[in-house]
Amino acid sequence: MKGPNIVSLPEFEPLPDTLELRVLLKMGDDISTDEILPAGARVLPLRSNIPAISKFCFEGVDLTYPERAQADRKTDGHAIVAGSNYGQGSSREHAALAPRYLGLRLALARGFARIHWQNLVNFGVVPVSFVDDEDYDAMEEGTVLRVDNLRGGLSESRILDVVDTTRNETFEVEHDLSHRQIGVLLAGGLVNWARENAAPH
């Protein structure tokens, strides 16, 4: 018997070939995992209840994020934009899992803290870095971004083209993903990837 705060891990769908996403948040440098998902007595008891814990996402950045993210879950989801060292601090997986539950599919940053970058991949969020810092400067909340040929493009090149449909401009982002990490993203996360690779062929 499960307690009231023990909820099964959400199932996430595989990565689609095209993502068209609204930028829900734009942040500066050094956003910590505690800013992404607070720690402490209010949140810790809910750690096995992802729908409940997700209500605290980005509480220190924008209190409206969870509600706005829930609205965008009816579409492909959403994107976030950050500066350098995004996800620094503690290595808690929930700081990647909870935003993914709310529909985060694409994280664009000037740079990522390494452990959080890996946690994003594990839950099917595509982490990419701006090739040109001026493209970070031009990003605004509400901008709609589109990435085509995502499934093939990740394997074919370190560089992806992103269309800013709001300004009708294209800019480049890059990734540093291994072949295995790309497989995890394509599957929709580590749980899906492990399940697929454990199945008899």
pLDDT tens-digit profile of 49-92?
A: 888 889 999 998 999 999 999 887 767 899 999 999 999 998 88
pLDDT of residue 3: 45
Q: How far apart are CA 189 and CA 178, in angstroms?
A: 14
Separation in Å, CA 44 to CA 49, 64, 92, 149: 10, 21, 11, 39
Does the pLDDT at position 114 exceed 70? Answer: yes
Q: What confidence tier does 115 reach under pLDDT thresholds 50, 70, 90?
A: very high
**Axis-axis angle for helices 94-101, 114-122 (nearest 10):** 40
Whole-model pTM? 0.91
The set of residues, in sequence order, having a beta carbon less than 8 Å from that of 89 and lying 6+ positions away, is 32, 33, 34, 113
Does the pLDDT at position 2 exceed 50? Answer: no
Least confident of 1-10, 52-61, 95-104, 138-147: 1-10
Percentage of residues of the chain with pLDDT beyond 70: 89
SS3 category, 26 = strand
pLDDT of residue 182: 96
Query: What's the whole-number mean pLDDT along residues 85-108?
Result: 93
- Residue that is written with structure tokens 């620094």 in the block: 88
Query: What's the whole-number mean pLDDT along residues 184-201?
Result: 83
SS3 category, 154 = helix
Q: How far apart are CA 131 and CA 70, in angstroms?
A: 30
Query: What's the whole-number mean pLDDT along residues 8-24?
Result: 87
Instruction: Give the architecture-level CATH label for domain 19-198.
Output: Alpha-Beta Barrel (3.20)
Name the nearest CA neighbour of 107 among 88, 87, 126: 126
Q: What confidence tier does 145 reach under pLDDT thresholds 50, 70, 90?
A: very high
Query: What's the whole-number mean pLDDT along residues 40-48?
Result: 66
Separation in Å, CA 117 to CA 70, 108, 183: 23, 11, 15
pLDDT of residue 62: 95
